[in-house]
Amino acid sequence: MSIHEVFMPALSSTMTEGKIVSWVKSPGDKVEKGETVVVVESDKADMDVETFYEGFLAHIIVEAGETAPVGSAIAFIAETEAEIEQAKSLANSGGAAATPTSSPEPVAATASAATPALASQNGSNHKEGRLVASPRARKLAKELKVDLTTLQGSGPHGRIVAEDVEALSNKGKQPAPAPVAPPAPVPTSAPVAPPAPRTPAPAPVAAAVPGQTVPLTTFQNAVVRNMVATISVPVFRVGYTITTDGLDKLYKQIKSKGVTMTALLAKAVAVTLQKHPLLNASYSDQGIVYHSDINISVAVAMDDGGLITPVLQNADAVDIYSLSRTWKSLVERARAKQLQPQEYNSGTFTLSNLGMFGVDKFDAILPPGQGSILAIGASRPQVVATADGLFGVRQQMQVNITSDHRIIYGAHAAAFLQDLAKLIETNPQSLTL
C-alpha cells in the first residue's frame, strides 16, 4: 500500500510553472492508470495530465486557478479508500517525503500531448485498447449523445478530441453546421487578409479597473520571459516596399478554395528562404545552426491577451491548399489552447502581420532561437511612376525584417527581400504549383 504524489509536469522545454485550469476528478473519485485527472495550462497551451497510478484522488494541493512550479506536488493519490484520510493528514503535515507510506517514484503524471522527449523520460501512458478522450470531447459527447467507443480518434495515439465528436454528430444532419464559430469574412481590398477564423482585435485580458493591478496570465508571463531574453541580441532592421497587384489577383482567384492570404505570404517567404538558408538559420555558442526544414511561425494574438506563434512546418514543400487548411486548424486550436508543443516551438523564421489592423509599417521583436522575423504592414493603393514615364496606381505593402546581426548582415537581408519582392511581383502563380 502507498500514497503517490501527482507532480506538476514539464509540458514544454520553456515551462517553469503551470496553472491548474480544472480538476477532471474530485477528491474521493476513483482513478484508473492513464486516466486524465487534471488540465494544466503551460506557457503555450492547455493539456490533459494523466495519472500513472490506479487508486483514489485523495487530496488536491493546488486548486483550479492556482499555479505551481514544475516538479512540485499538486495532489495525492491513494491506492485504497482507507488511505484517503492518511493522505489528507500527510498533506496537512507538509509533504510525503518523510513518510514511509509515500511512493519513492518521482513522477505521477504526464501530459497526453507531451513531446516525445517527455514521453520517453517519464514512460508511456498510452495503453492499447483503452478509450482515450480529452475532457472537452467527453463533455461534448455527453451533450450530443455520441458514443465515444464508435469513434476513431485523430489525436496523439488515437486520442479522441472534440473535433472527432463534432464530425460524427454532424453526419446525417443536413444542413446543420458544426457547432463551431463561423470564420470571419475575408476582405478583398487588402492583400494581407487575416486567417479564418479571425477576430477584429484581441479581447481585453480583464476588465480595466482604475487603480487595480491585474496579474499577468501564464501566456503573458511567457511572452515577458521571451522578450527579456532578446535584449542581449544585437539586431538590425531593413525595410522594403513590395507591389502586390499580382498577389491580390491570385488571391481573388483561389480564395474560394479555402486559400488564405497568410498561407500565401508564408509560402512566398518559405520558397524565398530556399535561396537564402542563412536567413532560416539561428545563432548558437557553437556557431551558425542551419536548419534542415523551413518552418514558418506566424504570430497570433490570443483572446486572453497572450501571444502564440503556430508553425507551418515545411511550408516550402507543402501545396498552398494543404497549407491553408493546416493554418486554419492551427489558429482554431491555438485559440482553444490545444496546440501540441511541436506546433508552436519548431519555427525557424517568423511572420508578424499587423496589416489587417491598418498598420502601415512596424518593427517586430526577434523571437529567441531564430535568426529573423518579418513584419508585414497593410497593402494600400499608391500613386507610382511607371516604367513608361507615366503615373499609375499600384497596391503596395511595407515589410520590415529584423535579423540577428551576429550571423546575418545587411546585404543578406536586402538580398532576401529583393528575391521575395521579385517572387510576389512577377511570379506569384508559382505559389500554387
Residues identified as active-site: 405
Tell me the CA distances in angstroms from 339 to 155, 310, 366, 394, one per residue in order.
11, 8, 22, 39
Grid coordinates in use for 275?
A: 535561396
Integer Cα distance of 187 and 93 in angstroms: 61
Residues 6+ apart with CB under 8 A from 57: 23, 25, 26, 27, 28, 29, 31, 37, 75, 76, 77
407-412, long-range: CB within 8 Å, 24+ apart, which pairs? 407/278, 407/281, 407/282, 407/283, 407/288, 407/371, 408/278, 408/279, 408/281, 408/371, 408/372, 410/236, 410/238, 412/276, 412/278, 412/279
Angle at 64 between CA 61 and CA 67, to 5 degrees: 70
Hey, which residues does 307 pair with through a beta bridge? 301
Integer Cα distance of 233 and 406 in angstroms: 8
Of 272, 251, 252, 273, the residue nearest 263 (C-alpha): 251
> Are the C-beta atoms of residues 265 and 376 closer than 8 Å to each other?
yes
